[in-house]
Amino acid sequence: MRSIIFLCTANAIRSQIAEAYINAKTDELMAYSAGIQPCGYVDKNAIAVMREIGIDLSSHYSKSVDEFRNKRIDIVVTVSGTAYQECPEWLYRNAINAHWGFRDVSGESRRQYRALRDEINAHLDKFLAHYNPAYTDNEVSMLLRGLSR
């Protein structure tokens, strides 16, 4: 089973949503999330809008990318501009990588959080519809890049 990490700035919203959605929807990947500058909490609105679709983030916490330094990561997907620009080389070096930028909705209305959740989940659904665990790394890379935003 491949591992995939979603990397954003604070690991409070976007990457948390992506990690939880993948882990809820497939057992063909093990998803993680982390932040370049973790804020120390998962945004309460992200928890609420994921709960609306039956996914519980209440036990999640904001993690630093450094927590994954000694963990095998096969796929890195950055979901914020900061993560894309500041992703540590040690993480990119041995992993398939792509950038799927999603806007930051911190401090916005619950409606905006729902829209972001739905946008991320729809994007992940496209990925999962085409992902095959038997794919070579090159085939996975081509799939990820085909979905780049």
Task: Spell out the domains of the chain, with CATH numbers in brackets.
Answer: 2-146 (3.40.50.2300)
pLDDT confidence of residue 92: 85
Per-residue model confidence as pLDDT tens for the chain (149 residues):
999 999 999 999 999 999 999 999 999 999 999 999 999 999 999 999 999 999 999 999 999 999 999 999 999 999 999 999 999 999 988 899 999 999 999 999 999 999 999 999 999 999 999 999 999 999 999 999 999 87
- Residue 73 has φ and ψ, to the nearest 5°, of -120, 125
pLDDT digits (tens, 9 = 90+) for 60-91: 999 999 999 999 999 999 999 999 999 999 99
